[in-house]
Amino acid sequence: MAVSEPSRSRDLDKLLLRPGHIIGPNFEPGPELREAIKESVKVLVVGAGGLGCELLKDLALTGFPNLDVIDMDRIEVTNLNRQFLFRLEDVGKPKAEVAAKRVMERVNGVNITPHFCRIEDKPLDFYSDFNIIVLGLDSIEARSYINGVACGFLVGTRLSYDSDDNPRDETVKPMVDGGTEGFKGHARIILPGTTPCFECTIWLFPPQVKFPLCTLAETPRTAAHCIEYAHLIKWDEVHSGKSFDPDNPEDMQWVYSEAVKRAELFGIPGVTYSLTQGVVKNIIPAIASTNAIISAACALETLKIVSDCSKTLSNYLTYNGVEGLHTKVTEFVRDKDCLVCGPGVLIELEKSVTLKKFIDQLEDHPKLLLTRVSVSHRGKNLYMQAPPVLEEMTRSNLDLPLFDLMGGISKDIVHVNGMAGKGDKKQSCLRKLRVVFRGIDGVTDIDMAGGA
Amino acid sequence: MAEPKTKYDRQLRIWGEQGQAALEKSSICLLNCGPTGSETLKNLVLGGVGSITVVDGSKVELGDLGNNFMVDESSVGQSKAKTVCAFLEELNDAVKAKFIEEYPEKLIESNPSFFSQFTLVVATQLVESSMVKLDRICRDANVKLIFARSYGLTGFVRISVKEHAVIESKPDHFLDDLRLNNPWPELRRFAETIDLDTPDPVVHKHTPYVIILIKMAEEWTKTHDGNLPSTREEKKVFKDLIKAKMIASDEDNYKEAIEASFKVFSPQGISPAVQQIINDSCADVNSNSSDFWVLVAALKEFIANEGGGEAPLEGAIPDMTSSTELYVNLQKIYQAKAETDFLVMETYVCRYRLIEDEYNSPVQLELQKYLTDEDYCVAVGFYILLRAVDRFAANYNSFPGQFDGEMDEEISRLKTTAVTLLNDLGCNGSTLTEDLINEMCRYGAAELHAVAAFIGGIASQEVIKVFFFFFFCLIFSQWIW
Per CB-CB distance under 8 Å, the chain B contacts of A11 are 63, 66-67, 446-449
Q: Does B316 have pLDDT greater than 60?
A: yes
A14 with B403: Cβ contact below 8 A: no
Told to judge if A214 belongs to the known catalytic residues of this protein, a careful annotator would answer: yes
Supply the DSSP symbol for A133: E
| A325, A327, A328, A329: best to mutate for the B interface, most B CBs within 10 A | A325
A287 with B456: Cβ contact below 8 A: no
Quote the CA–CA distance of A177 and A381 in Å, as a whole number.
30
A78 with B446: Cβ contact below 8 A: no
Across the range A402-422, mean pLDDT stands at: 86
A289 with B324: Cβ contact below 8 A: no
| Model pLDDT, residue B176 | 67
Quote the CA–CA distance of B165 and B467 in Å, as a whole number.
10
Quote the CA–CA distance of A55 and A286 in Å, as a whole number.
16
List, in order, residues 6 or more apart from B399 with CB less than 8 Å away. Answer: B389, B392, B393, B444, B445
List, in order, residues 6 or more apart from B180 with CB less than 8 Å away. Answer: B210, B213, B214, B217, B260, B263, B264
Nearest Cα residue to A328 out of A317, A320, A336, A341: A317
Computed from CA positions of residues A343, A349, A354, A356, in that sequence, does the dihedral angle turn out positive or negative? negative
Q: What percent of chain A has pLDDT over 90?
A: 61
Quote the CA–CA distance of B4 and B8 in Å, as a whole number.
6
Distance of residue B176 Cα from the nearest chain A Cα, in angstroms: 17
Angle at A216 between CA A211 and CA A219, to 5 degrees: 115
Nearest Cα residue to B384 out of B435, B354, B419, B429: B419
Of B439, B448, B456, the CB nearest to A12: B448
| A4, A56, A61: best to mutate for the B interface, most B CBs within 10 A | A61
Of A10, A84, A219, the CB nearest to B63: A10
| Model pLDDT, residue B471 | 46
| Model pLDDT, residue A61 | 98
Q: At what angle do helices B449-467 and A50-60 cross, to 10 degrees?
A: 140
| Model pLDDT, residue A18 | 95
Q: Does B474 have pLDDT greater than 70?
A: no
Look at phi and psi of residue B406 and say left if phi exceeds 0, alpha if psi is from -120 to 50, else beta.
left
| Model pLDDT, residue B182 | 87
B450 with A303: Cβ contact below 8 A: yes
Q: Write a three-state SS string for chain B.
A: CCCHHHHCHHHHHHHHHHHHHHHHHCEEEEECCCHHHHHHHHHHHHHCCCEEEEECCCECCHHHHHCCCCCCHHHCCCEHHHHHHHHHHHHCCCCEEEEECCCHHHHHHHCHHHHHHCCEEEEECCCHHHHHHHHHHHHHHCCEEEEEEEECCEEEEEEECCCEEEECCCCHHHHHCCCCCCCCHHHHHHHHCCCCCCCCHHHHHCCCHHHHHHHHHHHHHHHCCCCCCCCHHHHHHHHHHHHHCCCCCCCHHHHHHHHCCHHHHCCCCCCHHHHHHHCCHHHCCCCCCCHHHHHHHHHHHHHHCCCCCCCCCCCCCCCCCCCHHHHHHHHHHHHHHHHHHCCCCCEEEECCCCHHHHHHCCCHHHHHHHHHCCCCHHHHHHHHHHHHHHHHHHHHCCCCCCCCCCHHHHHHHHHHHHHHHHHHCCCCCCCCCHHHHHHHHHHCCCCCHHHHHHHHHHHHHHHHHHHCCCCCCCCEEEEEC
Of B12, B43, B61, the CB nearest to A292: B43
Amino acid A284 reads I
A325 with B462: Cβ contact below 8 A: yes
Q: From A216, which residue of chain B is nearest by alpha-carbon distance?
A: B324
| Model pLDDT, residue A452 | 35
Tally of CA atoms within 13 A in the half-sphere of A273 that contains its CB: 9
Quote the CA–CA distance of B83 and B99 in Å, as a whole number.
9
Distance of residue B405 Cα from the nearest chain A Cα, in angstroms: 6
Q: Does B234 have pLDDT greater than 80?
A: yes
A310 with B171: Cβ contact below 8 A: no
| B49, B322, B331, B454: best to mutate for the A interface, most A CBs within 10 A | B454
Q: Does A6 have pLDDT greater than 90?
A: no
Per CB-CB distance under 8 Å, the chain A contacts of B446 are 10-12, 14-15
| A85, A106, A289, A314: best to mutate for the B interface, most B CBs within 10 A | A289
Per CB-CB distance under 8 Å, the chain A contacts of B479 are 327
Across the range A359-378, mean pLDDT stands at: 88
A61 with B450: Cβ contact below 8 A: yes
Q: Does A251 have pLDDT greater than 50?
A: yes
Contact B76/B106 with Cβ under 8 angstroms?
no
Q: Does B172 have pLDDT greater than 90?
A: no
Q: Does A198 have pLDDT greater than 70?
A: yes
Nearest Cα residue to A194 out of A359, A341, A389, A4: A341
A268 with B47: Cβ contact below 8 A: no
| Model pLDDT, residue B400 | 96
Distance of residue A103 Cα from the nearest chain B Cα, in angstroms: 9
Per CB-CB distance under 8 Å, the chain B contacts of A287 are 10-11, 14, 43, 47, 461, 464
Contact B228/B265 with Cβ under 8 angstroms?
yes
Nearest Cα residue to A358 out of A441, A440, A437: A437
| Model pLDDT, residue B473 | 39
Q: Does B343 have pLDDT greater than 70?
A: no
| Model pLDDT, residue A368 | 86
B448 with A2: Cβ contact below 8 A: no
CB atoms within 10 A of CB A321: 26
| Model pLDDT, residue A429 | 79
Of A14, A81, A321, the CB nearest to B7: A81
Of B63, B324, B404, the CB nearest to A11: B63
A11 with B2: Cβ contact below 8 A: no
The answer to whether the complex's ipTM is over 0.90 is: no
Q: Does A49 have pLDDT greater than 60?
A: yes
Q: Measured between alpha carbons, how far is residue B224 from residues B237, B265, B267 in Å?
A: 13, 14, 16
pLDDT tens digits for range B266-292: 888 887 877 888 888 888 877 777 777
Instruction: Grade residue A445 by pLDDT with cuts at 50, 70 and 90.
Output: very low
Distance of residue A50 Cα from the nearest chain B Cα, in angstroms: 11
CB atoms within 10 A of CB A281: 12
The more confidently predicted of residues B227 and B365 is: B227
Quote the CA–CA distance of B117 and B98 in Å, as a whole number.
14
**Which range (A156-170, B15-29, B278-292, B463-477) has the least confidence?**
A156-170
Quote the CA–CA distance of B388 and B401 in Å, as a whole number.
13
Of B63, B69, B328, the CB nearest to A106: B69
Instruction: Grade residue A167 by pLDDT with cuts at 50, 70 and 90.
Output: low
pLDDT tens digits for range B389-399: 999 999 999 99
Across the range B14-39, mean pLDDT stands at: 94
Across the range B213-231, mean pLDDT stands at: 91
| B20, B23, B46: best to mutate for the A interface, most A CBs within 10 A | B46
Q: Measured between alpha carbons, how far is residue B319 from residues A259, A284, B252, B256, B433 in Å?
A: 17, 19, 12, 11, 54
Q: Which of A214, A298, A341, A429 is catalytic?
A: A214
A292 with B456: Cβ contact below 8 A: yes
Across the range B163-189, mean pLDDT stands at: 71
Residue A365 host element (H or E) = none
| Model pLDDT, residue A443 | 45
Per CB-CB distance under 8 Å, the chain A contacts of B407 are 18
Q: In what order do the strands lie in the sheet with B27-31?
A: B96-100, B51-55, B27-31, B120-124, B144-151, B154-160, B476-480
A7 with B61: Cβ contact below 8 A: no
| Model pLDDT, residue B53 | 98
Distance of residue A96 Cα from the nearest chain B Cα, in angstroms: 18
The more confidently predicted of residues A282 and A75 is: A75
Distance of residue A5 Cα from the nearest chain B Cα, in angstroms: 10
Which three-class secondary structure state does DSSP give residue A267? coil
Distance of residue B238 Cα from the nearest chain A Cα, in angstroms: 28
Quote the CA–CA distance of A374 and A419 in Å, as a whole number.
10
Mean per-residue pLDDT over chain B, rounded: 87
B319 with A222: Cβ contact below 8 A: yes
Q: From A17, which residue of chain B is nearest by alpha-carbon distance?
A: B442
**Which range (A422-426, B271-275, B400-404) has the least confidence?**
A422-426
B461 with A80: Cβ contact below 8 A: no
Per CB-CB distance under 8 Å, the chain B contacts of A323 are 171, 471-472
Q: Measured between alpha carbons, how far is residue B325 from residues A10, A35, A265, B317 in Å?
A: 68, 70, 11, 15
Quote the CA–CA distance of A452 and A449 in Å, as a whole number.
9
Nearest Cα residue to A96 out of A81, A109, A85: A85
Beta carbon pairs, A and B, within 8 Å: 238
Q: From B397, which residue of chain A is nearest by alpha-carbon distance?
A: A1
